[in-house]
Amino acid sequence: MDYENMVVGLKALAEPNRLKIVDLLSCGTKCACDLLEHFDFSQPALSHHMKVLEKAGIITVEKKATWNYYTLSEEFTRDFQALCKSLFSHDEETCVCGTGKNGCSCSK
pLDDT, residue 2, reads: 79
Assess whether pLDDT exceeds 60 at residue 48. Answer: yes
Q: What percent of the chain has pLDDT over 70?
A: 82
Question: Which CATH number applies to 3-88?
Answer: 1.10.10.10
Mean pLDDT (the chain, rounded): 88
Assess whether pLDDT exceeds 80 at residue 92. Answer: no
Q: What is the pTM of this model?
A: 0.82
Hey, where are the domains in the chain?
3-88
Assess whether pLDDT exceeds 90 at residue 94. Answer: no
Q: Which long-range contacts (CB under 8 A, 24 or more apart) does 87-96 make?
A: 96/1
- DSSP codes, 15-70: SHHHHHHHHHHTTS-EEHHHHHTT-SS-HHHHHHHHHHHHHTTSEEEEEETTEEEE
pLDDT, residue 88, reads: 81
The answer to whether 73 and 59 are in contact (CB under 8 A) is: yes
Assess whether pLDDT exceeds 80 at residue 8. Answer: yes
